[in-house]
Chains A and B, each alone.
Chain A
Amino acid sequence: MSLEPSIFFDEVNERQGVFHRRAFILGGFAGVGALTLIGRLADLQLVEGARYQLLSNSNQFNFRIRPPPRGRILDRNGIELASNRPDFRVLYRKGEAKEDAADTLAKVAELIPITEQKQKSLLKEIANAPKATPIALANDLSWDDFTRINVRTPELPGVAADMTDSRVYPFGGAFAHVIGYVARVSAEDVEREKTPDGKPDRLLLDPGFRIGKQGVEKALDQQLRGHPGGQKVEVDSVGRVVREDPAGDIHAIPGKDVVLTLDADIQNRALEVFGQDSGAAVMMDVRTGDVLCMMSAPSFDANQFVSGIPSAEYKMLSDYDHKPLINKALAGLYHPGSTFKTIVSLAALEAGVDPKRTYTCNGAFAFGNHVFHCDKHHGTLDMHGAIVTSCDVFFYQTALVVGPDKIAEVARKFGLGQIYDIGVSGQRRGIVPDTAWKKKYFAKQSAEAQRWWPGETPSMGIGQGYTDVNALQLCVMASRLANAKKALNPRLIRSIGGVEEPRGSEVEDLPFNADHIQFVRAAMASVANDAAGTAFEFAQLGLGPIKMAGKTGTAQSHNYVSGHGQHGAVGAWATRDNAWFIAFAPYDDPRYALSVLVEHGGFGASAAAPKAREIMRVALLKDPEVRARVEQPLPLPPTNPNADTGDVAPPPPSDIPGAPPQGPSGPQLQNPNTTDQPT
């Protein structure tokens, strides 16, 4: 290695000069680089700073969903038909636990009973659940179990014990069809209610959340649901909660209370009187259109669906031939039978038929090559008598005089063949046949099939043939007859969140001669109160001056001729006639109208009328004005010795149930309240 100094000074100076210049340039490059970085910093931290702060906060904070209490469903008097009860549960949040779920679950199972089988299914559920979705390990814990698990949660990663609301239906089955029920959220529900950016609604993923699946619970689900709150928590990058921030919590907005027009007492009594029978009962207030009772029997316990009904039980319910899962009041279609004679009479009167015109019934009516039967030899009857005794022969011939189109027109005006906006789905329209309907219905078949044959008209005259109605429609019909003026619509939802829904009485008047309606009403009063009336034996209310008017109906479920149908209450249950009774009361001042269907009940008078009577009694006795008329108060004993000790004798007790009606057959048309009625 040479140690001689370099002596090429020119050379050295040139190299040094180049170095200096270029080092300066390099330094400049570094400066430019630094300025670029500072510019970028200013861009990130000043220009976009607010946005990144937001992103940082959304990283840092998370909201645990707090389900809102579901709105209650109340009857017209404020009785809870659906409410919430506290439910102590244990949740497992997968995202907040690092440890093996099986170990944690085993530890939890030491504290509260969880069967091995349940543990296995829970582990599967945990494995499949998204990270953000908590899983309920146990529900409905006792207070002891709840506290035991609560004090141990610090040692159980991801496990939290909390209280939530669980839906409860205090009346079990009585309202199951109207109110419906809530049940677990299905995958389709989650899919349907995705947020606009395609994420699942977190509320729906909460294990305690239930969604309305039937009836009012389904129809008003959004109003009942409310808005979820959030518990603000600070989370780390793997989602574990580091800290809670109660000041940042968002409070849940409870769902709105829904008040129905139903009356729990009437509804419960309706279910009670049906016993083992299958059928439906609908009652309306004929002044307002409010539905006081809408019951379908047999029913089921809606509470079972909240926690999830075992499939074996569900199968039993769905396989039972009495069809407990179907709301027969809305979805059950039946021939109206003789209850339809009210409509035929009215159509006849409107068509100018003289009500005094008589027909003679000798048990059958031959028309064309067919003989139409009647169940009795009624003899010679005018229209009043024919309604009271429910003579088929009279109405076969009357229907032929009036014709199907006129009858159908009146039937529609009285609410048959319609679907009502009562806030819940599931109504079936039924059929009010006429020539136009038949043409349309058989449009794909031959002209022969489309034609209305005269031989089809007699059947229509007694509510058979094509005519199909549901119990709500018949109740609307009875209400409109009872109201006599307004084309009442039924109203089931009285108010949502304190805001009243439109009344069913805010409608137009019926375009009928009031005398004609009055004639039919008088005949219906005789049905229940004349000794000759078909329902006389079965429709006595036993409430003194308060009388019921009604009309029986016994409708074929199957054609007798084919051998499938059985007249009356004989033969196999499923082949018997369907029994109807429509009614309103008090007959002199109608307030309540009712339709009762007893599926395969046999005769309308013996099967349906007694039930109608019992249901009607509850409604009448709950009505203070009606009750005042029934009770006829005793005069007060003298409280002031100086006062005139009057000698008014106490009136005799109100009349005996089942006693023959006083006065002439037919209703008392003046309002008895206007006169002080001593008996």
Chain B
Amino acid sequence: MTSSALTRPGQRERLSEKLTEIDWRLALVLTVIAGLGGMILYSAAGNNWGPWADKHLIRYGLCLLIMLGLSLIGLRIWFAAAYPAYALALFLLLLVPVIGHSSLGAKRWVFGIQPSEIMKVALVLALARFYHGLTSREAAMSWKLLIPVGLIGVPVLLVAHQPDLGTAILLAVTGFGIMVLGGLSWRLMTSAVVLGGAAVAPFVMFVLKPYQRDRLLTFLHPEDDPSGLGYHITQSKIAIGSGGLMGKGFGLGSQSQLNFLPEKQTDFVFSTFGEEFGLVGCVGLLVLYGLAIAIALRIASISHSHFGRLSAAGVTITFALYVLVNAAMVMGLAPVVGVPMPLMSYGGTVMVTVMVCFGLVEAVRVHRYEEMPSGRGSLL
């Protein structure tokens, strides 16, 4: 865009230059999505700013500032912080079972934060850093791949133990995605997918807690359990389906207004949106999410450093997974695993996580020419 590879020394370090390098189209798309989120939360509260819409928009404003601030941080600093951040996140995750605060039957909180959220970014950074120092041959198939498997596996197991199945799946798939992008050989990739698929059945039967198993299996036949777990899915499908082509209109969604739709402001906010804006609104919203993902992937691909590429792409995978899993969940295509719709669902933690992710993406764009150390053979 405005800047080229040919710049005067130090020019790229200037704040004004950095600000122009920020991808404002991405910021705009994210803001539009968050604005729609605020709008639907206003409607879900019976056309009231409180208790959700106002906080949602204020939070987004703050998170946008965080994103912009993070985008100014040089990639080398991100690079240097990768392993310490991972170590910190892992430490906090280990603390959770010990001094964690439980909520709704699951221990997820420690010191007022969810370590699993930090881990979402930290895992991406750590993997990106690790692959940055790996040759393509090593990345394809070598004993060194046991290190990323460990980097992914340990937090995934810890998070699944909390239990927070949604986040665990998110971490696992994101990590695997980075391994693929890093150059995992097709043979290993295929066997991993096959092994993973084969492990699902015994995992579901023996490792999962009963409520998780019920949740997983109910989505297949929600009508069998109309007042329990199936109620969520059934009412969500009714909400979306009754929206029709054009929707019932802003503020007129009876399913959400009359509380038939559970968690209408959090995990099922997409259903609320679908009821009021119909197929047209839903496709439009998915196009906006797709646009954000496409821009982020484009940013990843123009980065000059492997670390930049993988870290930006990694967080984009996380973001895309949020959207896909949540949308599939509320439409009855996937189990109810408690994954919110990023930027739409009411809730601060995920908003911060997602905007930190996009801060990283923007930082990769702003610092796409930055020379990176090889990082080979050293953990720091």
B65 at the interface (CB under 8 A from A): no
Q: Which of B177, B258, B375 contacts A26 (CB 8 A)?
A: B177
B347 at the interface (CB under 8 A from A): no
**CB distance A14 to B136 under 8 Å?**
yes
Interfacial residues, chain B to chain A (CB-CB below 8 A): 80, 135-136, 139, 177, 180-183, 235, 237-245, 254-255, 258-260, 274-275, 278-279, 282-283, 286, 289-290, 293-294, 297, 300-301, 306, 309-310, 313, 317, 320, 324, 327-328, 331, 333, 371-375, 378, 380
Contacts of A23 in B (CB 8 A): 181, 297, 300-301, 309, 313
Q: With A11-B135, A15-B136, A26-B181 known to touch, is A53 a contact of B242 (CB < 8 Å)?
A: yes
Contact with B along A9-20 (1 / 0, CB 8 A): 001101110111
Q: Which stretch, A40-48, A398-406, A653-661, touches the partner chain B?
A: A40-48
Most chain B CB within 10 A, of A4, A27, A238, is at A27
A242 at the interface (CB under 8 A from B): yes
Contacts of A38 in B (CB 8 A): 282-283, 286
A37 at the interface (CB under 8 A from B): yes
**CB distance A33 to B324 under 8 Å?**
yes
**CB distance A49 to B374 under 8 Å?**
no
A55 at the interface (CB under 8 A from B): yes
**CB distance A46 to B309 under 8 Å?**
no
Q: Which of B80, B242, B282, B313 contacts A49 (CB 8 A)?
A: B242
Q: Which of A52, A60, A234, A237 contacts B237 (CB 8 A)?
A: A52
Complex: A56 Cα to B271 Cα, angstroms: 13
A15 to chain B, nearest CB (A): 5
Q: With A30-B290, A30-B293 known to touch, is A42 a contact of B279 (CB < 8 Å)?
A: yes
B105 to chain A, nearest CB (A): 23
**CB distance A1 to B254 under 8 Å?**
no
Complex: A6 Cα to B372 Cα, angstroms: 8
Known contacts A15-B139, A55-B242; 18 further A-B pairs (Cβ under 8 A): A1-B80, A3-B371, A14-B136, A18-B181, A19-B301, A19-B309, A26-B297, A26-B317, A30-B290, A34-B286, A34-B290, A38-B282, A40-B333, A41-B274, A45-B241, A53-B244, A56-B255, A238-B259
Complex: A18 Cα to B235 Cα, angstroms: 44
**CB distance B245 to A27 under 8 Å?**
no
Q: What residue in chain B is nearest A25 (Cβ atoms)?
A: B180
**CB distance B245 to A2 under 8 Å?**
no
Interfacial residues, chain A to chain B (CB-CB below 8 A): 1-6, 8, 11-12, 14-16, 18-20, 22-23, 26-27, 30-31, 33-34, 36-38, 40-42, 44-46, 48-49, 51-53, 55-57, 59-60, 234-238, 242
Contacts of B374 in A (CB 8 A): 2, 4, 6
Q: What residue in chain A is nearest B327 (Cβ atoms)?
A: A37
Q: What residue in chain B is nearest A15 (Cβ atoms)?
A: B136
B339 to chain A, nearest CB (A): 14
**CB distance B373 to A1 under 8 Å?**
yes
**CB distance A45 to B243 under 8 Å?**
yes
Contacts of A1 in B (CB 8 A): 80, 373, 375, 378, 380
A/B interface sample: 15 pairs, CB < 8 A? A2-B374, A14-B136, A16-B306, A26-B180, A26-B313, A30-B324, A34-B290, A36-B333, A40-B328, A45-B278, A52-B238, A55-B238, A55-B241, A237-B258, A238-B259
B308 to chain A, nearest CB (A): 11
**CB distance B240 to A45 under 8 Å?**
yes
Q: What residue in chain B is nearest A8 (Cβ atoms)?
A: B135
B78 to chain A, nearest CB (A): 13
Contacts of B373 in A (CB 8 A): 1-4
Q: What residue in chain B is nearest A56 (Cβ atoms)?
A: B242
Contacts of B289 in A (CB 8 A): 34
A58 to chain B, nearest CB (A): 9
Contacts of B279 in A (CB 8 A): 41-42, 45-46
A1 to chain B, nearest CB (A): 6
Q: What residue in chain A is nearest B247 (Cβ atoms)?
A: A45
Q: What residue in chain A is nearest B133 (Cβ atoms)?
A: A6
B181 to chain A, nearest CB (A): 5
Q: With A23-B300, A45-B274, A46-B245 known to touch, is A37 a contact of B286 (CB < 8 Å)?
A: yes
**CB distance B181 to A19 under 8 Å?**
yes
Contacts of A46 in B (CB 8 A): 244-245, 279
A98 to chain B, nearest CB (A): 13
Complex: A55 Cα to B254 Cα, angstroms: 11
**CB distance B258 to A49 under 8 Å?**
no
**CB distance A56 to B333 under 8 Å?**
no
Contacts of B328 in A (CB 8 A): 33, 36-37, 40
Contacts of B327 in A (CB 8 A): 37
**CB distance A44 to B241 under 8 Å?**
yes
Contacts of A15 in B (CB 8 A): 135-136, 139, 182-183, 306
Q: What residue in chain B is nearest A13 (Cβ atoms)?
A: B136
Complex: A6 Cα to B370 Cα, angstroms: 12
**CB distance B283 to A41 under 8 Å?**
yes
Contacts of A56 in B (CB 8 A): 238-239, 241-242, 254-255, 260, 275
**CB distance A237 to B260 under 8 Å?**
yes
**CB distance B259 to A236 under 8 Å?**
yes
Contacts of A14 in B (CB 8 A): 136
Complex: A47 Cα to B301 Cα, angstroms: 39
A321 to chain B, nearest CB (A): 56
Contacts of B244 in A (CB 8 A): 45-46, 49, 53
Contacts of B245 in A (CB 8 A): 45-46, 49
Contacts of A44 in B (CB 8 A): 237, 240-241, 331
Q: Which 4 A-B pairs have the closest CB atoms?
A: A52-B241, A56-B242, A236-B258, A237-B259
Q: What residue in chain A is nearest B239 (Cβ atoms)?
A: A56
Q: What residue in chain A is nearest B261 (Cβ atoms)?
A: A237
Contacts of A60 in B (CB 8 A): 254-255, 258, 260
Q: What residue in chain A is nearest B237 (Cβ atoms)?
A: A44
Contacts of B333 in A (CB 8 A): 36-37, 40
Q: What residue in chain B is nearest A33 (Cβ atoms)?
A: B324
Complex: A257 Cα to B243 Cα, angstroms: 47
Complex: A242 Cα to B259 Cα, angstroms: 11
Complex: A27 Cα to B316 Cα, angstroms: 10
**CB distance A59 to B324 under 8 Å?**
no
Contacts of B278 in A (CB 8 A): 45
Q: What residue in chain B is nearest A53 (Cβ atoms)?
A: B242
Most chain B CB within 10 A, of A31, A36, A37, A60, is at A37
A7 to chain B, nearest CB (A): 9
**CB distance B290 to A59 under 8 Å?**
no
Contacts of B237 in A (CB 8 A): 44, 52
Complex: A107 Cα to B283 Cα, angstroms: 53
B139 to chain A, nearest CB (A): 7
Complex: A237 Cα to B238 Cα, angstroms: 13
Q: What residue in chain B is nearest A48 (Cβ atoms)?
A: B241
Contacts of B136 in A (CB 8 A): 11, 14-15, 18
**CB distance B378 to A59 under 8 Å?**
no
Complex: A131 Cα to B189 Cα, angstroms: 56
A222 to chain B, nearest CB (A): 33
Complex: A114 Cα to B260 Cα, angstroms: 37
Complex: A15 Cα to B375 Cα, angstroms: 15
**CB distance A30 to B320 under 8 Å?**
yes
Complex: A216 Cα to B282 Cα, angstroms: 61
Q: What residue in chain B is nearest A2 (Cβ atoms)?
A: B373
**CB distance B258 to A242 under 8 Å?**
yes
A56 to chain B, nearest CB (A): 4
Complex: A36 Cα to B243 Cα, angstroms: 18
**CB distance B309 to A41 under 8 Å?**
no
B256 to chain A, nearest CB (A): 10
Contacts of B372 in A (CB 8 A): 5-6
Q: With A18-B136, A59-B258 known to touch, is A53 a contact of B241 (CB < 8 Å)?
A: yes
A569 to chain B, nearest CB (A): 71
Contacts of A48 in B (CB 8 A): 241
Complex: A505 Cα to B290 Cα, angstroms: 87
B353 to chain A, nearest CB (A): 19
Complex: A33 Cα to B321 Cα, angstroms: 10
Contacts of A16 in B (CB 8 A): 306, 309
A73 to chain B, nearest CB (A): 44
Q: What residue in chain A is nearest B180 (Cβ atoms)?
A: A22
